[in-house]
Each structure stands twice: as structure tokens, then as C-alpha cells.
Structure 1
Amino acid sequence: MKITVEIAGQSYQANLSSPASIAITLLPDGQQPSHFGAPACTSQTLAEEGFIGDTKQGGSCNVNRLTIIPHCNGTHTESIAHITDQPFPVHQALKHSHFPCVVITIEPVPASETEDSYLPHFDPTHAVITYQQIHNCLASFSDEQLRGVVIRTLPNAVDKQFQCYNTDNYPVYLSNDAMTYLQQRNVNHLLVDFPSVDKMYDEGYLSNHHIFWQIAQQTHQLTASADKYKTITEMVFISNDINDGFYLCNLQIPEIDTDAVPSRPVLYALTPQ
């Protein structure tokens, strides 16, 4: 099935029969990515008096209890409530589950090689994404095309889907200048293939999250000037057979009242008509 959409006065066609999921398949009790030393996602058979949720053990059906930390156990989408005292669940922030987006590929550079800044500070050996890299990739696109931005980092080996991120395997993050540029371009939905847009150990600042949602640094109040209808999706995986370019994204989420939920972003290539 094909649909036609109009974006910034230009018609595009998307083939809904050719979806490309960029969510990491999460295997409870199996191989899975992890961040910040959090425990893995697990699955346990529900067993109550007179009931066993396992057909192999004689049960009538399979019923499992999942234990998951969305922020650390795979592909997840966050709302502004990740950094505010006031609740604002992801399903409220995601006003439109379909939006145009641009997929870009960037090879992060050592922080020592950029003049960009980061609050509280860069560690020189960390790999970071800079303003100039983001600008070079997105300058030719209109703001209307940049409702979403999907960032793939190099190298892009398949084992990225099972990485354990820690001090020995420190994840990439964005400079504050790069995030400021994305905010100025009115990007509503940012999707990245690393576990956080911020430095893993950043003294609790989460400065890029604050820039993206327009919450004053080192505060946690949801003010009228905040950009609350925006989302950040982390730990996606964009396979190498997905080309850089222009797509329609369908961001699929469960309707749970919380600041982060497991998610499944699906891309459809957009062809000009």
C-alpha cells in the first residue's frame, strides 16, 4: 500500500508495505544492550495458587512478568518528564505518531578536536558529535523536513545492539552546541543509536536534555516556555542497508503514564512525486 503526503509544498510517496524498524529487538534474559550498570530486562513465569503461566509446565497458556528499565534496557522514548518534577507522559508528548524525518550518519570525533562546549565539561578522550557535523548533514533540509532527526554513528557493527556501556566502553554523546542547533532547527523528535544524548557521568546536569526541552539548566520545573511536545528516543539501531535520506517515521509506543517507555520507530522511505 502506498500513500502520498505533502511536506513543505512538495508531494512525496511512501510505501507502507516496506517498513524498516530501527528498534533493537529486546531479548529478556538474553543478549541485550545495557547502560549505567542497570540490571537486564528479565521475564518470569507468573505462578499463583492453582495457576502456572507456562504451557510446558502444564499451564493452559503462557503468562510472563516482565521486569524492565526502559531508560537502560534497549530502544526507548522519553518525554520532558524525564527531567521535570511535573508528570507529562510520553503518549501525551507524542501528539503525532507519524512525522517526516532525516536519517544521517556521523563518525564522532575526540572531544579534544572540537571547540564546542559541554556542561559540566568534556573529557578529552570521549567521542562526541559536534555542531559542525550536525550542521553539515542537515543544512540542505528545510525545518519542515526536520520534524525528526535520526542519528547513526560509526562504526555501526551489528553488535551495537548488545553493547554494555560503562566506563570501559564509554558511549558517545552530543556537544551542547550540536544540541542547540537541533533545538534551533525546531527538531521535535530526536532519535539516536547511543544510550543517552548526554554524557554518561555528567554530575547530574543532563544539559542536552535541558537544551532540547528548553528547561533552564539545573532546574526541574515544567514552565510555559518549555517544549513539552517533543521526544528523545535512544538506543535505536539503524542497519547499514538503510540509506541516509528523507523518511516518514511512525513512532510506536505503549500508552503508559510514565516519562520513558519501550518504543518501536519504523521508517518508510519518502520519494518525491
Structure 2
Amino acid sequence: MKFTIEHCGDAYESDFAQGIDLSSVLGLPGKELKAWWADDVDISPVVNGDWIGSVEKGAPVNFFNIKFNPHGNGSHTETYGHISKEKESVHNYLKKYHFVSWVVSLAPEKAKNGDSIITLEALKKSLTKWHGIEALIIKTGDYKDGHDFSGSNATYFEPELLAFIRDRGVEHVLVDLPSVDREEDEGKLLAHHAFWNYPEDPRDGCTISELLQVPSQTKDGLYLLNLQVASFANDASPCRPVIYPLTKVGF
């Protein structure tokens, strides 16, 4: 099924059959992307006396509980409630679900302190036209099923990079890392604060998505993003970003 959209005076077309899923799987031990020392996702049948909610155990249906941490288990989307006392819910603040987006691959660089970072300069060299870009998807590596970032001091972003894309009107940033900030940064979370402009003037409708799993064959360029987020009343929730390559056309 093909579709056409108009954005900022230009027309683009794509095909819903060409969707690329950027989310990591939950509930498959050994295949989940993890961080922050989170336990594996636990999916287990409800037990009520002698009754076990599993067809395998004799029940007529499968009736399972799921226990996980949205920040540490798999792809998730968060609002500035992640860093505020009010813990604003992503369910209340994400009210639009389709965005013209750009996928950009940025290679980590070694900082003076030995850390692996993504720099603003690298972004500026890779992407020069920002008009109409609502969401930025940043691919930094090829992280396989089962990758656990816990305790690895994973690659992170210069806060200046997040401030830069904020000032260019980008509303949503999606990354394949556990955080835009350093794993241990004394609680500063400078990149989070910069992107959300918090606490000075919080950007209510803007989100950060982390722990994506971007397929290696995904090319840099323009896409339509469908950001699917589970309706949890929480600062973060599991997400399934799906992108569709856009081609510019004339009316």
C-alpha cells in the first residue's frame, strides 16, 4: 500500500510494505537489549491456588504477568518526566505519532578522558539541512541481540549536540544507546536537560527514545517515523518505532 504526504510544501511518497522496525525484542532471554543492571524481562503465568494460567499446564488460555523496567529493558520512549519530580507521563505528552525524520550514522570518537562519545562536530559534518526535520534517529553501532550495556560506560553524546538539535526544532531524538548521557555522571544528565530545556522552559511534547536496535542495512536519509508507544502512565514506556523511506515527488 503506497502513500503520499505533503510536508513543508513538498510531496513525498513511500510504501507501507517498506516499514523498518527499530525496536528490540522483549521477553526472549539472551536476545534482549539491556542496561542499568536490569533483570531479564519476566513473563510467567498467573498462579491462583491450583490454577496455573498456561495452556501447557492445563488452562484453557495463556494468562501471563509481565515484569520489566522500561528504562533498562529494550526500546523505550521518555518525556522530561524522567528528570522531574512530577514524573510527567509519556502517555499524556505524546499526542502526535507520525514525524518526518532523518536517520544519520555517527561514529563514536575517543574523548580526552578516554570515553567514547558522539560529537556535535560529527553531526554538523553529516547533516547540514534541517528544515522540516521533526525527529532525528542516530545510529552509532551495530548492537546484536542480547547486548548488555550495564557497567560498560557506553558511548554517549556531547550535551552540546542535544542543545543544537533542540535549537533546530527537532522534537524527538531516537538513539541505539542506553542513554544520551554518560552511564555515571554524578546525576547531572546534561544532555537530557539540554534537549528538554529543563527546568528553564520544558519542552512538553518532546521525547527521547533509547535502546533502539537499528538494522545494519538501514540507510541514512529521510523517513516517515511512526512512533508507537504503549499507554503506560509513566515517564517512560516501551516503544516500537517504525520508519518508511521517503522519496520526493512532484504533484
Q: Answer yes or no: same fold by TM over 0.5.
A: yes
CA distance in 1, matches of 2:193, 2:65: 34
Letter in 2 for 1:64: F
2:238 pairs with 1:267: no
2:166 pairs with 1:183: yes
Q: 2:135 aligns with which of 144, 148, 163?
A: 148
Which position in structure 1 is the counterpart of 2:22? 22
Provide TM-score, normalisation by structure 1. 0.87
Which position in structure 2 is the counterpart of 1:228? 204
Number of matched residues?
249
Residue deviations 1:81-104 (CA, integer Å, cap 9, x gap): 101112421122212100100000
Residue deviations 1:147-187 (CA, integer Å, cap 9, x gap): 00000013x25x2x3211133x3211100111111111111
Residue deviations 1:115-140 (CA, integer Å, cap 9, x gap): xxxxxxxxx11110111111122212
Letter in 1 for 2:227: L
CA distance in 2, matches of 1:57, 1:269: 45
Deviation at 1:32? Answer: 1.5
Which position in structure 2 is the counterpart of 1:201? 184
Secondary structure of the corresponding residue to residue 81 of structure 2? helix
Deviation at 1:66? Answer: 0.7
* Contiguous gaps of at least 5 residues in structure 1: 113-123, 217-222
Percent same amino acid among aligned pairs?
30
Q: 1:240 aligns with which of 196, 205, 216?
A: 216
Which position in structure 1 is the counterpart of 2:52? 52
**Are the counterparts in 2 of residues 29 and 42 from structure 1 also a CA contact under 8 Å?**
no
Letter in 2 for 1:139: T
Which position in structure 2 is the counterpart of 1:220? none
**Are the counterparts in 2 of residues 87 and 259 from structure 1 also a CA contact under 8 Å?**
yes
CA distance in 2, matches of 1:8, 1:214: 25
Provide TM-score, normalisation by structure 2. 0.95
**Are the counterparts in 1 of residues 53 and 61 from structure 2 also a CA contact under 8 Å?**
yes
Residue deviations 1:218-238 (CA, integer Å, cap 9, x gap): xxxxx6x21111000001111
Which position in structure 2 is the counterpart of 1:72? 72
2:119 pairs with 1:130: yes
* Contiguous gaps of at least 5 residues in structure 2: none
Letter in 1 for 2:128: A
Secondary structure of the corresponding residue to residue 194 of structure 2? helix
Secondary structure of the corresponding residue to residue 246 of structure 2? strand
CA distance in 2, matches of 1:82, 1:232: 10
Deviation at 1:255? Answer: 1.2
Which position in structure 1 is the counterpart of 2:9? 9
CA distance in 2, matches of 1:203, 1:61: 47
